[in-house]
Amino acid sequence: MGWRYQVPFLVALGLRVIVPDMLGYGQTSAPESAEEYTMKKMTAHIAAVIKANTDAPVILGGHDWGGAFVWRMAMYYPELVAAVFSFCVPYTPPSAVLVAAEELVRRVPTFRYQLILASGAVEAAVGTAPAKVAAFLHGNFGGTTPEGEMVFTPEHGVHADRLDRVRASPLVGADMVRHYAAEYCRSGLRGPCNWYRTRELNGRDELPIAADYARFRFGVPAMIVMAEKDIVLVPSLADGQEKYFSAGLKKEVVPDASHWVLVEKPDEANRHLGDFIASVLAGGVKPS
């Protein structure tokens, strides 16, 4: 949803822009099985998309799950990536130890919402009724009840009992919400929630390669942009990231921005994108 404000800007820079939906969203096939959403499978899918569209390596970027994904894409398919950037999600190396979602939440309590989203409760509560899906979207993007209650909180996830009272999002307009509600209604929230069911699946996929990637460093230009007021993916998570990037890492924090920085602060986000892409192109990468 957030890239609405960035695509015209990127096109104006002379770039050919491809914005594929993450599996489970929009008009994708949205399979039921969480095993189809692993990083191993998804990077293979996007590798095929890149190869079908260009013979040149691409500048790859993402936000949230897309942000987590682009690091794996650049790690698994370095020959396809000329530069990489992520909004709100730092890189984490493959782990030699399997960490269950429950253990992650024990270490980082603000990640408890991931357990709720993986449980099946949210898609059951929201269903595919357009009004309910629209209420979920309004709440997800900062809409509150008349009493000022949030629909989404990190410690609880989605408060389904507040959906019937949620007011309009302060970040996205009614037309945009109607459009995305119609897209979500195609297959409900099963697909998006499946991403939260992949932690152990991804961990098992990477156990055999963890030792090989223990000293892995990205050899292409990279950027991480954090949001000052992201209450889950706090800016301090990017501390020390430089050690993973042999070609340099540009780190930025957008002031007074929530997790939805791309729609909340598009001018600031585009400025960081423009500066980063200009530096990449000055280094010899040509837009297709």
Give residue 10's identity as a one-letter amino acid code. Answer: L
Active site residue 64: yes
Q: 18 burial class (0-12, 13-18, 19+ CB within 10 angstroms)?
A: middle
**Active-site position among 63, 138, 230, 259:** 259
**Active-site position among 63, 64, 230, 272:** 64
CA 269 to chain centroid, in Å, comes to 15
Active site residue 259: yes
Burial call 41-71: b when 16+ CB within 10 Å, e when fewer:
ebbeebbeebeeeeeebbbbbbbbbbbbbbb
Beta bridge partners of 61: 85
Q: Strands of 222-227's sheet, edge to edge?
A: 58-63, 81-87, 222-227, 249-254
| Cβ neighbour number for residue 167 with a 10 Å cutoff | 15
Q: Strand, coil or helix: what is 223?
A: strand
Catalytic residue IDs: 64, 259
